[in-house]
């Protein structure tokens, strides 16, 4: 093949691709450029050959829209049906959990369970839909408020497995149903149904629940909706008539919220646990948006502990009132050291008939302590081996030895050009700043040169560099 492109002779696809991929020799490269400078069409072809990121997005959009368009007729009714089911499930789960709380005084005797005549009816589709409608009406909070868990109290003393089931249910099923709330469906419904079928003799209900039950002798689980037979069977158990609970009614409480770092960024995968006075513990992890939800807790005082890798553990005391969903927004500080915040609270005051959502406490501000090891995303995409921060300045070191600086609290990163020879292996704060008290005066032993230095860098050749602002470095 000749790379001497004379007039009217154009490079072929092979030559173009060799050029574009940088596989051409320097002479070929030169010849191609000379041709391209003259030939508008080959130039056009060469630019066409470049992958175009923006074009990709444009091109793929219609495909997506088309698929959704096709699924819409099926999806909408399915979502609506799922919504209805969710409402029913939540309601029943609510009752079930309340019933299973051993602290509640009331008891239920098997002999007293009977079916109200109104509940036994032929099950038709329209009826089911009607019931769903009723259920939705009866439990609007679960469907609309986004805090379905509010009406889903669950005992702290519940078996571990149920607790986990409840924690897991929210995400996948909710997405399927197209709900944005944390409404539990599916598995919760399943276990709720099972509970009613199997454990109902031990259950107790209060007057309110009883009233609701009579209102909705509805199906008991999501799976049941699929099969008419099942539906009919479960219905037998749906309309339980329950002895009026005697004594004080102890509604359950919960705590939910969002865990963020100092910059307001959500921390996902953080572990959140609450511990009551006796030492019973319930634990969950935060979702991708940093939110967590612990419900079904008996009212009382708890210690809430939030831990995340690379952050200091935060502990807070919270007081949960009955039927109350407390909102907590702990802010975690970067660092490995744990700090404890003790918040004293008053003795538990039981409130029997209120179902208010109350703001109990917001996250306690912990003194900003710079630390190491926060997992941040740096532009190189490589794993970060260490991150240090001072004020809003963050410096991250990835495992290839690249150093990145962020001046705005780890939001935007900029690569720091290496002024040192070799690879940076360690980044830390100078001793004056790495101690726990940020306001501590500068360490006198550090000498004048590094007096103001904040960041300390060690390269693989052993040289130590310091910097005050992270951008300008000086060898020690």
Partner 1 sequence: MDIPPANINQTEPSGAEDCTASVAKGAAVEMELGPESRLLPEMLGEELWQAAGAELVELSKAEFAEALETIGAKDNFGLDPGKQANERQRETFWRALHLEELAIARGCALGRESAWRRFLAQYREQLTGAAVEMTGSVTLGEELASALYSELFGLTEREGKRWSPLLRYSGRGSLMGWLRAILAQRRVNQYRKIGRETELGEIEPAARVSEQIELKQLEDLRAAIKMTLSAASAEERFVLSAYYLDQHTLHEISRVLRVHEATVSRKLKRATEHLRKELLRTLRERGLSRRAAEEALGIDPRDVDINLRRLLQESEGGPNSNKADLDKGDLHKERQE
Q: Which residues bind partner 1 (CB under 8 A)?
A: 1-2, 4-14, 16-18, 20-23, 25, 27, 30-31, 33-34, 36-52, 55-56, 58-59, 62-63
Angstrom distance (rounded) from CA 205 to CA 213: 10
Rounded to a whole number of angstroms, the minimum distance from the CB of residue 415 to partner 1 is 14
Between 24 and 88, CB nearer to partner 1: 24
Question: Judged by CB, which is closer to partner 1: 8, or 117?
Answer: 8
Please, what is the Cα angle at 76 between 71 and 81, to 5 degrees? Answer: 130
Q: Which phi and psi angles does 294 have, rounded to 5°?
A: -125, 115
- DSSP annotation of 60 reads H
Cα 318 to Cα 255: distance, rounded to the nearest angstrom: 9
Shortest CB 223 distance to partner 1, Å: 38
453, 473 contact by CB (below 8 A)? no
The residue among 7 and 421 lying less far from partner 1, judged by its C-beta, is: 7
Answer positive or negative: Cα dihedral of 174, 177, 179, 180: positive
Structural tokens at position 303: 């210690």
Give the span between the Cα atoms of 283 and 273, in whole angstroms.
4
Cα distance between residue 390 and residue 388, in whole Å: 7
Do residues 410 and 263 make contact, with C-beta atoms less than 8 angstroms apart? yes
Query: What's phi and psi for 205, nearest 5 deg?
Result: -130, 150
Q: Within the chain, what is the greatest distance between any pair of CA atoms? A: 102
Q: Specify the residue, 10 or 412, whose C-beta has the smaller distance to partner 1.
A: 10
Structure tokens belonging to residue 283? 């634990």
Q: Which is nearer to partner 1, 25 or 338 (CB)?
A: 25
CB of 416 to partner 1, least distance (A): 18
For partner 1, which is the closer residue by CB, 29 or 208? 29
Residue 50 or 126 with smaller CB distance to partner 1: 50
Q: What minimum distance in Å lies between the beta carbon of 28 and partner 1?
A: 8
C-alpha distances (whole Å) from 232 to each of 125, 224, 262 are 12, 9, 54
Nearest to partner 1 of 49, 232 (CB atom): 49
Residue closer to partner 1 (CB basis): 30 or 289 = 30
Q: Closest separation between CB of residue 70 and partner 1, Å?
A: 15
Residues 187 and 89: beta-carbon distance below 8 Å:
no
Output the smallest distance, CB 6 to partner 1, in A.
7
Name which of 357, 359, 300 is nearest 329 in CA terms.
359
The HSE-up count of residue 69 (CA atoms within 13 Å, CB side) is 6
Contact 249, 206 (CB under 8 A): yes
Find the shortest distance in angstroms from Cβ 380 to partner 1.
Answer: 17
């Amino acid at each position: 093949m000749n790379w001497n492109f004379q007039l009217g002779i154009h490079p072929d696809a092979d030559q173009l691709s060799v050029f574009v991929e940088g596989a051409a020799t320097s002479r070929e490269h030169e010849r191609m450029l000379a041709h391209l400078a003259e030939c508008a069409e080959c130039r056009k072809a060469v630019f066409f050959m470049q992958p175009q990121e923006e074009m990709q997005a444009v091109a793929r959009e219609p495909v997506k829209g088309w698929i959704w368009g096709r699924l819409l007729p099926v999806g909408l009714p399915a979502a609506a049906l799922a919504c209805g089911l969710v409402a029913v499930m939540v309601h029943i789960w609510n009752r079930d959990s309340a019933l299973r709380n051993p602290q509640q005084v009331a008891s239920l005797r098997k002999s007293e369970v009977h079916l109200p005549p109104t509940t036994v009816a032929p099950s038709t589709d329209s009826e089911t839909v009607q019931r769903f409608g009723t259920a939705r009406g009866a439990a609007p909070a679960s469907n609309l408020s986004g805090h379905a868990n509010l009406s889903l109290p669950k005992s702290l003393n519940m078996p571990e497995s149920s607790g986990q089931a409840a924690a897991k249910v929210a995400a996948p099923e909710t997405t399927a149903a197209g709900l944005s709330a944390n409404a539990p469906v599916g598995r919760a419904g399943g276990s709720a149904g099972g509970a009613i079928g199997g454990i109902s003799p031990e259950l107790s209900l209060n007057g309110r629940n009883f009233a609701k039950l009579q209102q909705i002798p509805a199906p008991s689980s999501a799976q049941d909706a699929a099969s008419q037979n099942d539906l009919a069977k479960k219905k037998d158990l749906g309309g339980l008539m329950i002895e009026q609970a005697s004594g004080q009614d102890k509604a359950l409480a919960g705590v939910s919220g969002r865990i963020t770092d100092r910059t307001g960024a959500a921390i996902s995968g953080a572990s959140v646990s609450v511990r009551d006075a006796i030492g019973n513990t319930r634990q969950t992890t935060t979702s991708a948006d940093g939110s967590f939800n612990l419900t079904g807790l008996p009212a009382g005082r708890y210690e809430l502990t939030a831990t995340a890798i690379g952050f200091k553990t935060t502990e807070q005391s919270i007081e949960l009132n009955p039927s109350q969903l407390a909102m907590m927004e702990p802010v975690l500080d970067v660092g490995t050291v744990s700090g404890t915040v003790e918040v004293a609270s008053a003795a538990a005051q039981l409130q029997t008939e209120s179902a208010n959502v109350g703001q109990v406490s917001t996250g306690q501000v912990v003194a900003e302590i710079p630390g190491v090891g926060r997992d941040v995303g740096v532009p190189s995409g490589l794993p970060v081996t260490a991150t240090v921060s001072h004020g809003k300045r963050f410096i991250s070191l990835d495992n290839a030895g690249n150093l990145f600086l962020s001046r705005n609290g780890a939001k935007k990163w900029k690569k720091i050009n290496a002024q040192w020879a070799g690879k940076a292996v360690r980044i830390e704060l100078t001793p004056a700043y790495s101690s726990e008290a940020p306001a501590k005066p500068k360490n006198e032993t550090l000498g004048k040169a590094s007096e103001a230095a904040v960041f300390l860098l060690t390269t693989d050749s052993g040289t130590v560099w310091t910097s005050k602002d992270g951008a300008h470095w000086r060898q020690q």
